Amino acid sequence: MASGSNPAVQSAPLSNDDIGLERRLELFRLQVEIRDCEKRAHDLFFQNLIKGTSHLSIGQEAIAAGFGVAMQKGDKSFCTYRGHAHTLARGASMEGLLGELMLRDVGLMRGKGGSMHLTSVEHDVYGSYAIIGAHLPIACGSAWRAQYLGEKDVSVVFFGDGTTNIGAFHEALNFAAVWKLPVIFVCENNLYMEYTPIGDVTAVKHPAADRAASYGLERILVDGNDADVVYRTAQAAIEKARRGEGPSLIECLTYRHSGHSRADPGKYRPPGELEEWLKRDPVIIYRQRLKDFGVTDDTITGIETESKRKVDAATATANASPPAPVEILTTDVYADGGWAWRN
C-alpha cells in the first residue's frame, strides 16, 4: 500500500478493479463537492459573510473522500479545525456547514461552535477540535468504548503534520498501541506547520510515518492526493481495527492550495512549489481516473454541474437564514440544557 517518496498517479486496469464504479463515482463526487464548497467558503469570507476564521482544505480533498467512502455508518470521525472537508465527506449538508461558517441559525450548531468545531453526530462527525492534538486521546477514548462494549465501529482521527510534535500525539499513540484500540490515526502532511515548513521543526523527515516504529506500528506513507490510494489504505486499516488487531498510523502526503487560514496568503512557500503541486491536484487526477475507467464526459460533467448547483442552493439557504435567537446564548452549557451554577 505504501508508495515511495515519489508519489505518482496510479491506476489499475478495469478488470482488476477492487473499488468498483459506484464507489469511484462517489469518491469523485465528494472531492468535487468539497472543492466547490471550500471555494465558495473562500469567496464568502472575502464578502465578509463568513466571520472569524476559516481553515480550508483546498488540495487535500482526496484524504477526506477516501476515508469518507471507506468508513461505514457508525464509524466515528474526529478532525481538526481544518474540518470542513471531513464534515462534508461524512454526509453533512452543505447548508448546515456554510450556515455554521456564516454563524446562522441553520448552521450545524446554530452558530454556537463556528468553523473550528463542526460537529454532526447524525453523520458520525464527533467534533472538530481547535486545540492541536487534543482529539487524539479523545479518539482513543471512543475506541476504548467500542472495545469495552464489544461494538464494531472504529474511530478515525485526522490531524496535520504539526500535531505530531505535540505531547498529546505521543500520549495517544502510545496509549492506543498499549491498549490495542480500534483507532486509526491519519496524518495529513501538507508540508507546512502553519507558516513553517514541517522539516524545520521535526526531528524526522516524515513526521508520522517515521515515528510509527516508536509505538510498534507499521510505517505507512501514501500519496494523499490519489483518492484510490487513500481509499485502499483506509480500508485496510479499518478492517484491521475492526478485527481487533489494534491501531494504525497513516501519513498522507498532500498540499494545501491556499494559506493556513483565510488570513494567510501563503507567501512563505518557495516559488514553483505551489505550481508543482497544482499539477497533482487530486480533483484533476481523479477526473482522469474516471475517464481511464470509461466514465463518460456527460456523467462527469453532470456530477460537476450538480455540485455547483448544490453549493449555490446551500449558499442561498444559509444566507437567508437569520442569526440564531439570542435565547441560545445561555442554553446547553450543561446537559440539562441550562447554565445554572447556583440556586
Partner 1 sequence: MSDTVLMPQLGETVAEGKILAWFKSVGDEIKEGDNLFEVETDKVTIEIQAVVSGRLNEIRVSAGDVAKVGAIVAVIGGESPAKAAPQPEAEQAAAPKAAPWRNPFEEVSTPKGRYGPAKGPGDIRITPLARRLIAQNNVDIMRLAAEVKQRGGSRIDEQVVRSAMAASPPTLAPAPDAPRYTAPPAPLSGQTITLNAVRLKTADRLAENWRAIPHVFQAIEVDFTAIDRVRGKHKRVFQEAHGFSLTYLPFIARATCLAIQAFPQVNARFDGKFLSLSPTVSLGVAVDLSYNGLVVPVVRNAEDLTVAGLAKAMRRLIDKARSSKLGPDDLSGGTYSISNNGAFGTTFTAPIINAPQVAILSTDAIQLKPAVVSTPEGAFVAPRMIGMVGQSFDHRAFDGAYSAAFLSRLKQLLETRNWEDEFAGNP
Partner 2 sequence: MGVAELSYRDAVIRGIAQEMDRDKRVVFLGEDIGKAGGVFKSTVGLYEQFGPLRVRDTPISEQAILGAAMGAAMTGLRPIAEIMFADFLAVCFDYVANEMSKLHYMTNGQLSCPVVIRTGNGGGARFGAQHSQSVENWTMMIPGVKVVAPSSPVDVIGLMAAAVRDPDPVVFHEHKSLYATKGEVPDGVIVDTLGTAKIVRAGGDCTIVALALMVPRALEAAAMLASEHGIDAEVIDVRSLVPLDTQTILGSVSKTGRLFTVEENPRLCGWGAEIASIVADEIFWDLDGPIVRITTPHIPLPAADHLEDLALPSAARIVDKVRRVLKA
For partner 2, the binding residues (CB under 8 A) are: 76, 78, 108-110, 112-114, 117, 119-121, 126-127, 129-131, 134-146, 148-149, 155, 167-168, 171-172, 174-175, 178-179, 328, 331-337, 339-343
- Which region, judged by CB under 8 A, interacts with partner 1, from 61-69, 111-119, 129-137, 325-333? 325-333
Shortest Cβ 115–partner 1 spacing (Å) = 18
DSSP codes, 218-239: --EEEETT-HHHHHHHHHHHHH
Of partner 1, partner 2, none, which one sits near residue 45, judging by CB under 5 to 8 A according to partner kind?
A: none
Closest of 299, 290, 302 to residue 17, by C-alpha: 290
Q: Cβ neighbours of residue 40 under 8 Å, at least 6 residues apart?
A: 98, 311, 315
Q: Report if residue 201 touches partner 1, rule: CB under 8 A.
A: no
Shortest Cβ 334–partner 1 spacing (Å) = 8
Shortest Cβ 40–partner 1 spacing (Å) = 12
Q: Report if residue 46 touches partner 1, rule: CB under 8 A.
A: no
How many binding residues for partner 1 (CB under 8 A)?
A: 28
Q: Which CB, 94 or 285, lies closer to partner 1?
A: 94
DSSP codes, 281-321: -HHHHHHHHHHHTT--HHHHHHHHHHHHHHHHHHHHHHHHS
Of partner 2, partner 1, none, which one sits near residue 155, judging by CB under 5 to 8 A according to partner kind?
A: partner 2
Q: Report if residue 340 touches partner 1, rule: CB under 8 A.
A: yes
Q: Which CB, 291 or 309, lies closer to partner 1?
A: 309
- Output the CA–CA distances (angstroms, integers) from residue 73 to 68, 180, 333, in the order listed: 10, 22, 29
Contact 233, 1 (CB under 8 A): yes
Q: Report if residue 200 touches partner 1, rule: CB under 8 A.
A: no
Q: Which CB, 18 or 43, lies closer to partner 1?
A: 43
Q: Report if residue 337 touches partner 1, rule: CB under 8 A.
A: yes
Pattern 271-310, binding to partner 1, x per CB under 8 A? --------------------------------------x-
Q: Cβ neighbours of residue 237 under 8 Å, at least 6 residues apart?
A: 184, 220, 248, 250
Say which amino acid occupies 198.
I
H-only helix segments in 71-166: 84-89, 94-101, 135-149
> Sign of the C-alpha dihedral, residues 129, 135, 141, 142?
positive
Of partner 2, partner 1, none, which one sits near residue 32, judging by CB under 5 to 8 A according to partner kind?
A: none
Of partner 2, partner 1, none, which one sits near residue 255, judging by CB under 5 to 8 A according to partner kind?
A: none
- Which region, judged by CB under 8 A, interacts with partner 1, from 23-31, 164-172, 274-282, 327-335? 327-335
CA angle 152, 153, 158 (to 5 degrees): 150
- Residue matched to cell numbers 510534535: 165
What is the dihedral angle through the alpha carbons of 279, 284, 289, 295, rounded to the nearest 10 degrees?
Answer: -150
DSSP 3-state of 126: strand
Closest of 34, 54, 36 to residue 45, by C-alpha: 54
Shortest Cβ 110–partner 2 spacing (Å) = 5
Q: Report if residue 52 touches partner 1, rule: CB under 8 A.
A: no
Positions that interact with partner 1 (CB under 8 A): 105-106, 309, 312-313, 315-317, 319-322, 324-325, 327-332, 334, 336-342
